Amino acid sequence: MKFLQNIPPYLFFTGKGGVGKTSISCATAIRLAEQGKRVLLVSTDPASNVGQVFGQTIGNTIVSVAAVPGLCALEIDPQAAAQQYRERIVNPVKGLLPDDVVSSINEQLSGACTTEIAAFDEFTGVLTDADLLTRFESIIFDTAPTGHTIRLLQLPGAWSRFIDSNPDGASCLGPMAGLEKQREQYAQAVAALSDPERTRLVLVARLQKSTLLEVARTHEELAAIGLKNQYLVINGVLPETETETDALAVAIWQREQEALAHLPAGLSALPTDTLFLQPVNMVGVSALKGLLTPGSAAAMLPETTTPDKTDNLSLSELVDDIARSEHGLIMLMGKGGVGKTTMAAAIAVRLADMGFDVHLTTSDPAAHLSTTLNGSLNHLQVSKINPHDETERYRQHVLATKGRDLDEAGKRLLEEDLRSPCTEEIAVFQAFSRVIREAGKRFVVMDTAPTGHTLLLLDATGAYHREIARKMGDNGHFTTPMMQLQDPERTKVLLVTHAETTPVLEAANLQADLERAGIHPWGWIINNSFAIADTRSPLLCQRARQELPQIEAVKRQHADRIALVPVLASEPAGIEKLRALTV
């Protein structure tokens, strides 16, 4: 494996959600530990599942992995980091300021931006901790999905610029002095990330057009901010031996080989490794060891028939149930890479074909709605909540309203405040709120960002609701975006997953988080299922059998209603192919 040769102390795995970053980072950690190295595995993903992979609790402190001598792990918990951050800011003023002022500060620090910067403080703390490099020879980072990671890696420069231009002010994160103390740490983090002697970045991809385009963009964006020591790992490749007797396997193999032959510009020049599709789920040390072993995909059971088809709703039946409401918000949530964009587009196309007025939108920075649709349709409007555009719109609105009557000095101060990275959070939340309001008159189908980022957005929604409720008290009627999300008559949340251990566990955890916020998911979609596909490939049949316990767990423990969507011979891009999903 090229990416494992002469590795520097820091090894990053990044890429679109669902491509196998966690599996490969865990397998790499095991490989290095078995070579006698002292290894630390760090997850920076808000929806981390490293603990699930190893079958033990990891958490926000460094712990030894029981099954792998020499390996320790750490999951950076954004919520725990945010709570510690709030305490550092609020505790010193308790008793010095009135209780209502302290409560207001707490509320201001409850938003998603505080959570993100607090988690980033933890991340840069690991990256710049010299003591860790004396304890560990290799530190491996399993990062969050691409859009979140890009933002994470760009924050050092963004905050340094904001501190430079606003040294005496205050942001939604509290006194600037708190950030000033981090300036040196951020500078050290940027230096470490940009140094090829210290850091190697491994881009993980699948042989799918949308995934490869996203990885190509990640490659360019990371190179532009100085992270140029990059490798490419293509995961989950179907072996050619599976094509001998199976039409579906032939179609999948041909599709993958075509994508491999036409890699986007920039990727083809990177040192590249390919890993075969595995017959088992990547949970447990033995399964993970097989991932990096050449030819390991051949070790499978001999069954050449798929199990009996399970009895579930089709996607078309699910959409027919949705259509009875005649309008409302349909939110698709779940782990990155499970097909939320495709499912959202297919649902929107069917509702539009039924004559309903439909707005299809996305809050995912890495989504490709236009590529997925590849056309236009009557009754269907398509949009994207673009963080950059929404931030600029918000800045101009604030300058035109709050800044209208300010003198030049006041305007300069306002412009400086609007350069805070927190401005983006406010702007995206306002765009999200506008979309929600439309659902009172028509169907709004929203393709959300991968799980962790979506929870940050919902956190902002909840903070806004609590602030409005505090101000209004019992004196008036009001409806907040959170109240609409909690109303099953107005909002239907669909969790999208694959029938694999990790995505199902993550979707179940997301459902629990939503339940605590008073939001009950309306249904689940299990996408790309081999269990209902027509195949005789031994490898694909074994994958199908691996799915059955997960499908049964969703039916018995989690979902009020469930739809299964099979693996298709060709990628469902374009309106006609999307229609075929809901026939």
Question: 228 an active-site residue?
Answer: no
Question: 21 an active-site residue?
Answer: yes
Question: 341 an active-site residue?
Answer: no
DSSP string for 459-511: HHHHHHHHHHHHHHTTSS----HHHHHH-TTTEEEEEEE-SSHHHHHHHHHHH
Helix (H, G, I), strand (E, B) or coil at 234: strand
CB-based contact 153:120 (threshold 8 Å): no
Which two tokens mark 403?
A: 């800044």
Strand order in the sheet with 523-529: 380-382, 358-362, 443-447, 328-333, 491-497, 523-529, 562-566
The bridge status of strand 491-497 relative to strand 358-362 is unpaired
Residue of 15, 17, 22, 461 with catalytic role: 22
How far apart, in whole angstroms, are the C-alpha atoms of residue 392 and residue 389? Answer: 5
Q: SS3 string of 156-205?
A: HHHHHHHHHHCCCCEECCEEHHHHHCCHHHHHHHHHHHHCCCCEEEEEEE
Residue of 25, 502, 535, 537 with catalytic role: 502
How far apart, in whole angstroms, are the C-alpha atoms of residue 137 and residue 117? Answer: 27
Question: 22 an active-site residue?
Answer: yes
Residue of 15, 17, 18, 147 with catalytic role: 18
How far apart, in whole angstroms, are the C-alpha atoms of residue 10 and residue 443? Answer: 47
Name, in order, each residue with C-beta under 8 angstroms of 236's C-beta and a sequence gap of 6 or more: 19, 20, 206, 207, 275, 276, 277, 278
Burial 571-581 (b: 16+ CB within 10 A, else e): ebbbbebbbeb
How far apart, in whole angstroms, are the C-alpha atoms of residue 196 and residue 8? Answer: 8
Question: 64 an active-site residue?
Answer: no
Which two tokens mark 99?
A: 């209780």
Question: 243 an active-site residue?
Answer: no
How far apart, in whole angstroms, are the C-alpha atoms of residue 114 and residue 456? Answer: 10
Residue of 14, 16, 17, 21 with catalytic role: 21
Residue of 17, 20, 328, 336 with catalytic role: 20
Question: 268 an active-site residue?
Answer: no
Residue of 14, 16, 17, 23 with catalytic role: 23
Residue of 17, 25, 28, 45 with catalytic role: 45
The set of catalytic residues is 18, 20-23, 45, 502
